[in-house]
């Protein structure tokens, strides 16, 4: 019986050391001709992990950046539709082609700040994935459906701290 209690305490302690990550994932997709653009937003401990993914579903190579133009990324807007953060800058592209079945991806972590790293006020913010491709010399811009996130500046208690308190209470109960 004593070994079982020790084993439970040891397992509880090990579980407290594991990182706790909360995740919410949403995938939105819009298809244009033979190219698809996908936005994935996941809420993590450090902020929102945002992935914009353009996939060439066709049989031909396509340019996603050409002669210094083209890009992939996202734009984030506040409740009044003002752009507060962006990784999409098509005017600063280079030259990049992707083949059939290939992808072109942007990944970023947004922590609820503006482009100058100032903390934004609480509220609802909208994320839109943006990219494009070329047909000849014409750039065809694409964007995903919007995805809304809530920014809250309230400080939540650590899950690790809560696990520690629960383990301590269980340990005290076991001694009674």
Looking up residue 80, the CATH number of its domain turns out to be: 2.60.40.2360
User: Could you tell me the residue range of the domain that residue 108 belongs to?
Assistant: 22-156
| Residue at 173 is within a domain | no
Note whether residue 12 is domain-resident. no
| Residue 164 in domain | no
Nearest 5°: the CA angle 135, 130, 139 is 20
Specify whether the CB–CB gap between 54 and 72 falls below 8 A: yes
User: Can you give the pTM of this predicted structure?
Assistant: 0.69
Q: Do the domain assignments include residue 34?
A: yes
Joined tokens for residue 118: 């100032």
Counted domains in the chain: 1
CA separation for the pair 23, 79 (Å, rounded) = 24
pLDDT in tens, the chain (176 residues): 555 555 445 454 444 444 433 333 444 444 445 899 999 999 998 899 999 999 999 999 999 999 999 999 999 999 999 999 999 999 998 999 999 999 999 999 999 999 999 999 999 999 999 999 999 899 999 999 999 999 987 655 455 566 667 777 777 777 76
Q: What is the largest CA-CA distance in the chain?
A: 78
């Amino acid at each position: 019986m004593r070994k079982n209690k020790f084993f439970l305490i040891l397992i509880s302690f090990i579980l407290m050391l594991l990182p706790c990550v909360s995740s919410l994932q949403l995938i939105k997709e819009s298809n244009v001709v033979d190219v698809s653009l996908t936005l994935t937003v996941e809420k993590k401990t450090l902020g929102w992990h945002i992935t914009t993914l353009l996939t060439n579903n066709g049989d031909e190579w396509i340019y996603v950046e050409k002669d210094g133009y083209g890009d992939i990324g996202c734009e984030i807007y506040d409740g009044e539709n003002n752009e507060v953060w962006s990784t999409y800058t098509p005017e600063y592209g280079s030259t990049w082609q992707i083949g059939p079945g290939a992808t072109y991806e942007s990944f970023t972590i947004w922590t609820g700040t503006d482009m100058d790293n100032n903390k934004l006020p609480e509220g609802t913010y909208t994320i839109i994935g943006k990219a494009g491709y070329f047909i000849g010399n014409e750039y065809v811009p694409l964007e995903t459906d919007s995805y809304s996130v809530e920014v809250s500046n309230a400080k939540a208690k650590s899950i690790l701290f809560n696990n520690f308190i629960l383990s301590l209470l269980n340990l005290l109960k076991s001694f009674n």
